[in-house]
A and B are shown apart, each in its own frame.
Chain A
Amino acid sequence: MIETKHLIKSFDGKKIIKDISATFEQGKTNLVIGRSGSGKTVFMKLLIGLLTPDSGEILYDGRNLPAMNKNELNALRQKTGMLFQGSALFDSMTVMENVMFPLTMFTRETRQKQEKRAKFCLERVQMKEAADLYPGEISGGMMKRTAIARAIALNPQYLFCDEPNSGLDPKTSLLIDELIHDITQEYSMTTVINTHDMNSVMNIGDKIMFIYEGKKEWEGTKDEVMNSANKKLNDFLGASDLFRKVRELEQ
Chain B
Amino acid sequence: MTIYSKKSITFVAYLKVYMLIIKWLMQFGRYVLLMQRVFTVPQRWSVFFKQVIQEVYKLGVDSVGIVIFISVFIGAVVTMQVSINIKSPLIPDFTVGFITRAVILLEFSSSIMCLILSGKVGSNIASELGTMRVTEQIDALEIMGVNSANHLILPKIAGFVLFVPVLVFFSMFFGLLGGYFIGWFTSIISSETYEYGLRYWFVTRYIGHSVLKSMVFAFIIASTSSFFGYNVRGGALQVGKASTKSVVNSSVLILATDVLITLLLV
Contact = CB atoms under 8 A, between A and B. Distances in A.
Interface of A: 48, 50, 73-78, 80, 82, 84-86, 88-91, 101-102, 104-106, 160
Dominant SS among interface residues on chain B: helix
B7 interface: no
Interface of B: 43-44, 47, 131-132, 135-137, 139-140, 142-146
A77 B147 CA distance: 11
Contact of A104 (B44, B132, B136): B44
5 contacts: A86-B135, A88-B140, A91-B132, A101-B144, A105-B144
B145 A78 contact: yes
Contacts of B142: 50, 77
Nearest to B140: A88
B143 A105 contact: no
Contacts of A84: 136, 139-140
A101 B43 CA distance: 13
Nearest to A82: B143
A77 B145 contact: yes
A218 B143 CA distance: 28
Contacts of A91: 131-132, 135, 137
Contacts of B146: 105
Contacts of B43: 105
B136 A85 contact: yes
Given A88-B135, A88-B137, 4 more contacts: A78-B144, A80-B143, A88-B140, A89-B137
A88 B131 CA distance: 11
A166 to B, nearest CB: 13
A90 B151 CA distance: 13
Nearest to A108: B44
B231 to A, nearest CB: 15
A106 B145 contact: yes
Contacts of A86: 135-136
Contacts of B139: 50, 82, 84, 88
A48 B139 CA distance: 10
Contacts of A78: 144-145
Contact of B145 (A50, A74, A85, A104): A74
A78 B146 CA distance: 9
Contacts of B132: 91
A84 B132 CA distance: 13
A48 B143 contact: yes
A86 B132 CA distance: 12
B14 to A, nearest CB: 27
Contacts of A73: 145
Contacts of B44: 104-105
Given A74-B145, A78-B145, A104 B47 contact: yes
A76 B143 CA distance: 9
A89 B43 CA distance: 20
Contacts of A80: 143-145
Nearest to B151: A105
A90 B144 CA distance: 13
Contacts of A85: 136
Given A104-B44, A105-B44, A105-B47, A82 B140 contact: yes
Contact of A88 (B47, B136, B145): B136
A207 B187 CA distance: 86
B121 to A, nearest CB: 17
A77 B136 contact: no
A84 B144 CA distance: 12
A104 to B, nearest CB: 6
Contacts of B47: 104-105
Contacts of A48: 143
A231 B140 CA distance: 37
Nearest to A160: B143
